[in-house]
Structure 1
Amino acid sequence: MAIRAPFDEITAAEEIPKLVRLTPNLYAASFTLMKLIPARHILRKAVGTGEIGPETLIAETTSGTFGLALAMQAARLGRRLVLVSDPAIDDRLYRRLTDLGAVVERVREKAAVGGYQGARLARLAEIQAEHPDNFCPRQYSNPENPRSYALVAELLAESLGQVDCVVGPVGSGGSMCGTVTSLRSLLPHCRAIGVDTPYSVLFGQPDGHRGLRGLGNSLMPQNLDHRVFDSVHWCSESLAYQATRRLHRQFSMFKGPTSGAAFHVAHWWARANPDSRTVVMLPDDGYRYQDTVYDDDWLRDDGHLDRAAPEVPVFLSDPRVPDGEWSAYEWGRRPYDEVVSSLDAPAGAR
């Protein structure tokens, strides 16, 4: 892939991941801000098609880095941006978003269905009704989100040649589904391992408290194609935090906890499969977590250092039942309904 420099926008420069070899068969695709890929692609395309005009309001629901990516690109385009978030958004991110010109609204109460995500979607609908000339990037349902990651697949294929396994966190479904689907046009046997967190509904678990943010979801996004995934791993917040610190200490990679969770799974997989070339997706840097994940007192006070990180996952017979700090299930590239129906079928019919 021809990458030209100097770039005409910082967003173009920072959407390109750095490829780092961690072990003989494990490579990291290390992003400064991975969500710039869909944010830049979606907004620029909408400007080109006329969906975003000079006075169009851009509005979206997000509590994390997709909002930051939108704010960066909206500032470059000179467009107004309203982001609907919730109490999970930290003060550092809030200050950066508002400094970029974004208006950030935080819902305070959970919806009866869908939790904070449901409440945020309801408020987003109100804002859209108030501003008829609006554009919503719809990261959870816009097919341009996964399509934008063809850029990453092209980079991996041209830089590494053979890629046997891609490991990465799953939230909207865009990054893993888009990257792996594009890669498989060249490498059909490439394995995909999704990393989720307990009490996320993405792969069948009941909606509940999720301390680990940046992956998982309370609602099922349309962009999540379950048929992409060979297996799924659920990592607790404590495991992710410990793995994040190990990634920093061992490899000097200063990343966030979703990266830590993905690294933990990928490191295990790469050791167990030494003849396979594995790539782990590390979505963002660790600056937002200096007062939490990178603070030993915070980790200790919240009990995240009480248990040693398990060395192997617990393999589940039913992905709908959370189990321990780290569990896994062989999904087998099947649709969601097929997996669930096979679990509910009588034993003799399975």
Structure 2
Amino acid sequence: MSGTLINANMVDAIALPRVVWLRPNLIGLAFPLMKLLPARFIIRKALESGELTPGGLIAETTSGTFGLALAMVARLGGHRLTLVSDPAIDAPLKRRLEDLGATVHIVEKAGASGGYQTARLQVLERVLEENPGSFCPRQYDNPNNPGSYAPCAELLAHATGGIDCLIGTVGSGGSVCGTSSYLRLLFPELQVIGVDAHRSVIFGQSDAGSGRLLRGLGNSLMPPNVDHTAFDLVHWVGAAEAFRATRELHQRHAIFCGPTSGAAFLVADWWARNNPDALGAVIFPDEGYRYQDTIYDDAWLEEKNARLDVLPDGPVEWDRPHDGDDPWAFYRWGRRSFDEVMGAEAGRLEPVA
């Protein structure tokens, strides 16, 4: 891990997480904004290779924190930025992106398949065609996304001296796949648990009736950066359970995070209670300020029929991935490829371009 940064800008100053002990056998990596790691690394590599020229246009599709990270990196690096999003983007985030100089295109109509993701990709390709020489980070298939998490793995190894399990949410395939690939160079027996949302295709559910209330994890198209062979277990967490766990993370540990962190905490706390002699680490991707009027507002939770007073004791174990009704379930993935687990169903999923 690099030493103290001299004359660091804001991106460099907050890119790495804080290490927080939650239990004697569970450590949390609490990021102010986790997506800064891949955004900074991808742009740096693109400049070094000549794919991006100084001052050149960056264009990407995103409805979440990767867009904010790109906006910060682009502003400080003197780049123009165009982001393609959809109505799920929250108004305060859109205002912040535009205040940082980004142009934000909102796709109003979902595609016939793949939800808004397909429609957003079509608009993105048009933006790239209309701006020759522009650069697209393509977080879903750029190997520099998972490759950017070496400092995170190094920080964990330095803080713990040895780790038995890594738990984190899966969306683009960057954080958990990247961090675990580096950690397993040091700890080959490391167990990895992925946390997904229902109606996400990543681990074998369909996106039928998509429009997931729980955002920031999961996907309607298959991200090539997801290495399915990295995962020992997969958990699917419902929105109400993730939101309740987000609030408990704040109430019990004063850690103010978003719902992806809550989903990860729900699974990690369960794992730690059931493995008292092992040491686990859980990734908390971002802070909770975007969610003060939603997840941290009881009236909003009631309106969305997503308020829980008590969390379930644990998940239901499934014998196969499917579109089940259990709000919290897990499956023993066993470090197998998607094709090995899903068989003939695997060929029906369209990858993110």
Using the size of structure 1 for normalisation, the TM-score is: 0.96
Find the counterpart in structure 1 of residue 176 from structure 2.
176
CA distance in 2, matches of 1:13, 1:24: 28
Cα distance change on mapping 1:327 and 1:99 into 2, 3 Å: same
CA distance in 1, matches of 2:165, 2:43: 30
Amino acid at match of 1:294: Y
Displacement of 1:307 in angstroms is 6.7
Amino acid at match of 1:86: D
Amino acid at match of 2:145: N
Displacement of 1:4 in angstroms is 1.1
Displacement of 1:55 in angstroms is 4.4
CA distance in 1, matches of 2:103, 2:57: 11
Is the aligned partner of 1:78 residue 2:83? no
CA distance in 1, matches of 2:280, 2:55: 45
Displacement of 1:70 in angstroms is 0.2
What is the DSSP-based 3-state SS (H/G/I as helix, E as strand, rest coil) of the residue aligned with 1:184? helix
CA distance in 2, matches of 1:302, 1:211: 9
Displacement of 1:6 in angstroms is 4.1
Q: Which residue, 253, 265, 268 being the options, matches 1:263?
A: 265
Displacement of 1:342 in angstroms is 9.0
CA distance in 2, matches of 1:223, 1:5: 30
CA distance in 1, matches of 2:88, 2:39: 21
Find the counterpart in structure 2 of residue 93 from structure 1.
93
CA distance in 2, matches of 1:155, 1:23: 18
CA distance in 2, matches of 1:75, 1:276: 43
- Structure 1, unpaired ranges of 5+: 345-350
- Structure 2, unpaired ranges of 5+: 347-353
1:300-339 deviations in Å (ceiling 9; x for gaps): 2222225742111011111123231101000000000001
Q: Is the Cα contact below 8 Å between 1:140 and 1:222 reproduced in 2?
A: yes
Displacement of 1:131 in angstroms is 0.6
What is the DSSP-based 3-state SS (H/G/I as helix, E as strand, rest coil) of the residue aligned with 2:185? coil
Find the counterpart in structure 1 of residue 58 from structure 2.
58
Matches within 5 A, 1:333-344: 333-341=335-343
Q: Is the Cα contact below 8 Å between 1:36 and 1:70 reproduced in 2?
A: yes
CA distance in 2, matches of 1:131, 1:125: 10
Find the counterpart in structure 2 of residue 48 from structure 1.
48
Displacement of 1:341 in angstroms is 2.2
Q: Is the Cα contact below 8 Å between 1:59 and 1:124 reproduced in 2?
A: yes
Larger deviation, residues 317-326 vs 62-71: 317-326
1:15-55 deviations in Å (ceiling 9; x for gaps): 11000001110100000000000000010121122211134
Q: Which residue, 238, 251, 254 being the options, matches 2:253?
A: 251
Find the counterpart in structure 2 of residue 290 from structure 1.
292
CA distance in 2, matches of 1:126, 1:295: 39
Q: Is the Cα contact below 8 Å between 2:244 and 2:309 reproduced in 1?
A: no
Q: Is the Cα contact below 8 Å between 1:318 and 1:343 reproduced in 2?
A: no
What is the DSSP-based 3-state SS (H/G/I as helix, E as strand, rest coil) of the residue aligned with 2:168? strand
CA distance in 2, matches of 1:55, 1:18: 32
CA distance in 2, matches of 1:306, 1:52: 47
Q: Is the Cα contact below 8 Å between 2:199 and 2:323 reproduced in 1?
A: no
Find the counterpart in structure 2 of residue 22 from structure 1.
22
CA distance in 2, matches of 1:2, 1:102: 31
Find the counterpart in structure 2 of residue 239 from structure 1.
241
Is the aligned partner of 1:204 residue 2:204? yes
Find the counterpart in structure 2 of residue 140 from structure 1.
140
Find the counterpart in structure 2 of residue 330 from structure 1.
332
Q: Is the Cα contact below 8 Å between 1:165 and 1:278 reproduced in 2?
A: yes
Matches within 5 A, 1:79-228: 79-208=79-208, 209=210, 210-228=212-230
Q: Is the Cα contact below 8 Å between 1:38 and 1:146 reproduced in 2?
A: yes
Using the size of structure 2 for normalisation, the TM-score is: 0.95
Amino acid at match of 1:44: R
Displacement of 1:7 in angstroms is 4.6
Identity of aligned residues (%): 55
Q: Is the Cα contact below 8 Å between 2:55 and 2:78 reproduced in 1?
A: no
1:84-127 deviations in Å (ceiling 9; x for gaps): 00001001100110000000001000111211000000000010
Q: How many pairs does the alignment contain?
A: 344
